[in-house]
Amino acid sequence: MTGNKEDRYEEALEELKDIAKQFYEQLEDGEVPNMKIPTRSKSNIELDRRKGVWRLGDSKTSRSAKKLKSARMLLRTLYMLELIQDMIEAGKSSTLREMYYISEGWEKAEFSKQSESDSLAEDMELVTGCLREDFKLRPEEDGARLIGDITVEEINRKGDVRKINCRDDVGDSGYTIPYNVESDKVTFSDVNVDFMIAIETGGMFDRLVENGFDESANALLVHLKGQPARATRRVIKRLSEEEDIPVMVFTDADPWSFRIFASVAYGAINTAYLSDFLATPTSEYIGITASDIMSYDLPTDDLSKNDRKALEQELEDPRFDTPFWKEEIETMLDINKKAEQQALAKYGLDYVTDTYLPEKLEQVGMM
Amino acid sequence: MASIAEELAEKQQEISVGEFFERNKHILGFDSLTKALVTAVKEGVDNSLDACEEAKILPEIKIEIEEVNDREYKVAIEDNGPGIVKRKVPEVFGKLLYGSRFHEISQSRGQQGIGVSAVVMYGQLTTGKATIVRSKVKEKDYANEMRITMDTKKNEPEVLDEEVVLWGGKEHGMRFETTVKGLLRRGKHSVFEYLKNTAIVNPHARIEFDRDGEKTVFKRATDQLPEKTEAVQPHLKGIELGTLAKMAKNSKRRTLKSFLKHEFSRISYSKAEEICEEADIDKKKNPSDLEVEDCKRVLKAAEKVKLMAPKTDCLSPIKGMLIKKGLKNVLKGQHPEYYAPPSTRDPTVYSGNPFQVEVGLVYGGDLPKEGSVKVLRFANRVPLLYKKGGCAVTTAIKNIDWRIYDLDQRGGKGMPSGPVVILVHVASTRVPFTSEAKEAIADIPAVIDEIEKGLRECARSLRTHLNKEKKRRKVKKKFTVVNDILPMIAKKSADIVGKEPPELSKSMTKIMGVVYIEKGYEWNDGRCKVDIDIMNYTPKDKDMNLFFEKPYPETELLSSNLEPDYQGDHLEWRLEGLKPSEKKKISLEFDGDLEKDDMAGTEIYIEGVTETKLIGAETLPDDWDIELAEIEERG
């Protein structure tokens, strides 16, 4: 995952070719082609106690040509491999969505939804130990942003280094995080913030920007934009580790927001093999908690059936197996309510920056 | 019919037949305008079928209905039966309850109606019009035609006029034309439905229906006439008190013992004596002197004495092959996917009356997938259209948890749903109807039990079929794997590693692991080409015997690319040394006026491959030889 860019592509290609070689040899031996892929499920993640992140366990799933569906996946693997080979040779790259459309020409190997092709790309990372960027595949630009007094040095398309101060050199929408945030592309300098707040919704991000919270609290504001993209999580992780900036996570109070926190802090189940690389286990959840709903008397909605189901699942999720989360989840189930970040506006537009956040940050010793 | 007859006879003293009719329209099947038309047709058609069968003639029946006025229809029914001699015509058509049938016990359609004379009277009462009857017997060169009405006070026929006519080359037959008040509807309780169902259980009849010029023909599906039913004597167990009393009164026998021996089935002299003793009545007593009390004692004694069960060989079931043919003939347009082998239960007895149950089941194709299964009920080959809810057939269907047979049924209770037609036929010398209206079969445990057993037989076949289909579909998917995907995986991976594509047969057989048999058909002018593909998708060499059932024993094999090792009512091949991935094709051509559905039920049997490794064919059943014998018998 490190080293010279071109070498990385070559390395990735060799790893991928090994898959094809494996199929070929299986067929030569009169066997049914198959590949073993580590199982990506809740039941197969383990806590790395030393690093504090949740990683993939040892259990593996076999994908064999005995079944139509898996046979098709094996064939797709080969097609994808060919595509990657072509892209490396031509010096091009494609987005995950583009790859999905390219597959329309693959006849029997065509994908029926993009989630299938995305998932296969993840499988290939998993089997080869490479990153999808090494395969010349990148996600759609998701445009997550940050604002605060740090300076980013980014190498642009022309190969020039651009220095951007994320408070002074940007507009109200902030610095847009590119999909590649590795050190060959992005480095940090002049970090003048005490901590960062990763915010779930764009509305709340904009509220804090308008209220000037980045300056008044000396904070870096990061917009998560729902379930955060890899690049967003990677930036958070790098800033936390390289620049020693504490990470606060601020989301809605509902089961799905809890999962957003989990993926920032502990790693997502789907990409648990990348947790070392993406998760920031020192992250603090500052709210909105289920107990906040009651203590701040916030406007709420009732939990839907799906919400309740999601909470029940979280009670089974090893990542939430801590006294804090157990209690929060059970409280939410008890009161059967959820609330949005913007519910704080009940007490005025400044309430969040003047009262709520200072109180919550004080509780974790940040203010 | 006896009880109506008696009642009628008694009532005749006080009221006219016409009045009786008015009061009892519901019993006679004329209680609504729609039903009246169905009943009119039914009485005529039942008569025609009975007459034809009795004379061993393949029935050709034509029904015409024409609206002549608002709610007034001219109904004409014509057959090719033996005709009726001229002097009998007025009585058959103009006298209520005339006819020989009321005195004998046999499986006949006529049990179920009051007779065609009721139609004449209904027409007369509702429209004031006379019935025109034409009849020709073989012995005469001309036909007699007469206009008949009924004197409803005296229950006597009145012939208005008569003439002799030539009947355009017709050898023999009957036609009657009557005008009735009614309402011609389509749908569940329609004349059309009645005729369609009649065609199903009477595949030997050709039935033509002309409705205001709109013609439907139910073609004959077989030239095989039903076996003739025998009239049998009543069995003492289960006879009604009134019937016994009447028989005793009219008996010409001089002693009770002789009466019991000669007028009842399965009673010997010694049994007769035993009954007399048990009843404590002098065996020499003249039967016409028996009081009602004596009769009661005889019946009680009959319960105690061990009597031989009544004869059951007096019934004439439709039988499997013909049920299937009848169903096919009428359901063809809906291309059902599967006809379960019909179940013909052994005859058995309920309170002294022999009866026999037959069940057929059809599944899939274009039959409606939504809603309850369709049930066709028959008693002695006559469709039952009304009172479905109160019928033993419905009870038996509801008793079964159809979910175990892979049909939908809410909560495992009530009517199952799905693309299914169920046929139930109850044949008996005395069908246990719920009422005199004879529209539903009574919930008699012995009868329900038999129906249920028949249903389960068919349901089991259905389940087996569905399982096989499921498995075949699964294997079919694997075909895509071995034929399309695997070669592409081989090619792509070979390209990437820069080598020649590897040999795939071993991997293929590991994926499939079965012997796959597929048959395909092509039709041309009554000729049928059959292709049987045999593919060994197992990792081992295979030897097997293949049996192909011909659609009919007499179907002629015109050509075969592979000479069969046996030819008869089935064809047999020995296939040896089929290598893994090797395919073999047998191409056959048959003659014999074959239609698509004739081939639907033909099976391929394989000997030498275990069931779990065989797709698209059956393993040779253990009773194959027995089955062969049956086919020979049928032929």
CB A329 within 8 A of CB A311: yes
A65·B485 Cβ contact <8 A: yes
- Give a three-class secondary structure readout of A205-266: HHHHHHCCHHHHCCEEEEECCCCCCHHHHHHHHHHHHHCCCCEEEECCECHHHHHHHHHHHC
Give the Cα separation of B41 and B64 in Å (integer).
9
Q: Where does chain A hold its CATH 3.40.1360.10 domain(s)?
A: 145-363
Q: Which residue type, as a one-letter code, is found at position B81?
A: G
Query: Where does A8-144 show beta strands of DSSP type E?
Result: 34-38, 45-48, 53-56, 60-64, 94-95, 137-138
* In the block, residue with structure tokens 């060499």: B541
Distance (Å) from the C-alpha of residue B506 to the closest C-alpha of chain A? Answer: 5
Residue B44's nearest CA partner among B164, B184, B200, B191 is B191
A27·B493 Cβ contact <8 A: yes
Q: How many CB atoms lie within 10 A of CB B434?
A: 15
Interface of A with B in 151-190 (CB under 8 A): none
Supply the pLDDT for residue B493: 93
ipTM above 0.90, yes or no: no
Candidates B477, B482, B492, B579, partner chain A, best to mutate (most A CBs within 10 A): B492
Q: Is the dihedral of CA A257, A262, A265, A270 positive or negative?
A: negative
B489·A23 Cβ contact <8 A: yes
Which residues on chain A are in Cβ contact (under 8 Å) with B510? Answer: 30-32, 66
Distance (Å) from the C-alpha of residue B327 to the closest C-alpha of chain A? Answer: 38
Whether the predicted pLDDT of B184 surpasses 50: yes
Active site residue A101: yes
Contact A357/B at CB under 8 A: no
Q: What residues contact residue B24 under an 8 Å CB cut-off, 6+ apart?
A: none
User: Which residue does chain A place closest to B498, by CA atoms?
Assistant: A21
Nearest to B499 among A24, A32, A78 (CB): A24
What SS3 state is found at A33? coil
Q: Which own/partner pairs from B551-555 qualify as long-range (CB within 8 Å, at least 24 positions apart)?
A: B551/B590, B551/B592, B551/B594, B551/B598, B551/B599, B551/B601, B551/B602, B552/B592, B552/B598, B553/B631, B553/B632, B553/B634, B553/B635, B554/B592, B554/B635, B555/B590, B555/B591, B555/B592, B555/B594
pTM: 0.65
Nearest to B485 among A27, A31, A72 (CB): A72
Q: What element of type H or E holds A154?
A: strand A151-155
CB A340 within 8 A of CB A252: yes
B493·A21 Cβ contact <8 A: yes
Contact A51/B at CB under 8 A: no
User: Which residue does chain A place closest to B479, by CA atoms?
Assistant: A68
CB B145 within 8 A of CB B173: no
| Average pLDDT of chain A to the nearest whole number | 90
Ramachandran sector of residue B377 (left: φ over 0; alpha: ψ -120 to 50; beta: rest): beta
Candidates A23, A88, A106, A107, partner chain B, best to mutate (most B CBs within 10 A): A23
Whether the predicted pLDDT of A75 surpasses 90: yes
B497·A20 Cβ contact <8 A: yes
Q: What is the mean pLDDT of residues B359-372?
A: 90
Beta bridge partners of B590: B528, B557
Q: Where are the alpha helices (DSSP H) in B498-619?
A: 505-512, 596-600
User: Which residue does chain B place closest to A22, by CA atoms?
Assistant: B493
Q: Output the DSSP codes for B179-204.
A: EEE-----STTSHHHHHHHHHHH-TT
pLDDT in tens, B211-237: 988 898 888 878 888 887 777 788 887
Give the Cα separation of A74 and B561 in Å (integer).
40
In the 8-state DSSP scheme, what is residue B483?
Answer: I
Q: Which CATH architecture has domain A145-363?
A: 3-Layer(aba) Sandwich (3.40)
Supply the pLDDT for residue B622: 65
Most trustworthy range by pLDDT among A39-43, A352-356, B244-248: A352-356
Which residue among the candidates A9, A79, A100, A101 is catalytic per the annotation? Answer: A101
Does the domain at A5-138 match CATH 3.40.50.720? Answer given as no
Q: What is the mean pLDDT of residues A283-309?
A: 93
Which residues on chain B are in Cβ contact (under 8 Å) with A67? Answer: 481
pLDDT in tens, B195-207: 999 998 898 899 9
Which residues on chain B are in Cβ contact (under 8 Å) with A32? Answer: 507, 510-511
Residue B109's nearest CA partner among B209, B229, B205, B208 is B229
Buried/exposed code over B513-528 (b: 16+ C-beta within 10 A; e: otherwise):
bbbbbbbebeeeeeeb
Most trustworthy range by pLDDT among A115-124, B105-114, B611-620: A115-124
Whether the predicted pLDDT of B246 surpasses 90: no
Nearest 5°: CA angle at B364, between B361 and B365?
Answer: 125
- Give a three-class secondary structure readout of B430-451: CCCECCCCCCCECCCHHHHHHH
CB B531 within 8 A of CB B585: yes
pLDDT in tens, A214-248: 999 999 999 998 889 989 999 999 999 999 999 99
Q: Where does chain A hold its CATH 1.10.10.10 domain(s)?
A: 5-138
In the 8-state DSSP scheme, what is residue B69?
Answer: E
Q: Where are the alpha helices (DSSP H) in B481-528?
A: 486-497, 505-512
Q: What is each CA distance from A99 to A105, A140, B153, B488, B614, in whole angstroms?
A: 11, 11, 94, 20, 41
B481·A67 Cβ contact <8 A: yes
pLDDT in tens, B400-456: 999 999 899 988 888 999 999 999 999 988 888 887 777 899 999 999 999 999 999
- Number of inter-chain CB pairs under 8 A, A vs B: 82
Name the phi and psi angles at B358, rounded to 5.
-130, 140
pLDDT in tens, B29-66: 788 888 899 989 998 998 899 889 888 999 999 999 99
Give the Cα separation of B101 and A56 in Å (integer).
86
Residue A72's nearest CA partner among B134, B217, B488 is B488
CB B390 within 8 A of CB B434: yes
A27·B502 Cβ contact <8 A: yes
B510·A31 Cβ contact <8 A: yes
> Hey, what's the torsion of the CAs at B343, B349, B354, B357, to 10 degrees?
-20
A24·B485 Cβ contact <8 A: no
Domains of chain B, start order: 2-218 (3.30.565.10), 241-304 (1.10.8.50), 336-465 (3.30.230.10), 510-634 (2.60.40.1170)
* In the block, residue with structure tokens 């004739």: B598
